[in-house]
Chains A and B, each alone.
Chain A
Amino acid sequence: MMFGGVRILGSQTSQQQIRGMATLKHISMRLKSVKNIQKITQSMKMVSAAKYTRAERDLKQARPYGEGAKLFYEKAEVAEVNEKPKKLIVAITSDRGLCGAVHSSVARIIRNELAEKADDVMIFCVGDKSRAILQRLYAKNIMGVANEIGRKPPTFLDASKVARWILESGYEFTSGKIVYNRFKSVVSYVNTDLPLFSLAAVSAAPKLNVYDSLDDEVLQSYIEYSMASLLFYTMKEGACSEQSSRMTAMDNASKNAGEMIDKLTLTFNRTRQAVITRELIEIISGAAALE
Chain B
Amino acid sequence: MQGRLSAWLVKHGLIHRSLGFDYQGIETLQIKSEDWHSIAVILYVYGYNYLRSQCAYDVAPGGLLASVYHLTRIEYGVDQPEEVCIKVFVSRRNPRIPSVFWVWKSVDFQERESYDMLGISYDNHPRLKRILMPESWIGWPLRKDYVAPNFYEIQDAH
Q: Do A and B bind each other?
A: no
Task: Give A contacts to B, CB under 8 Å.
Answer: none
Task: Give B contacts to A, CB under 8 Å.
Answer: none
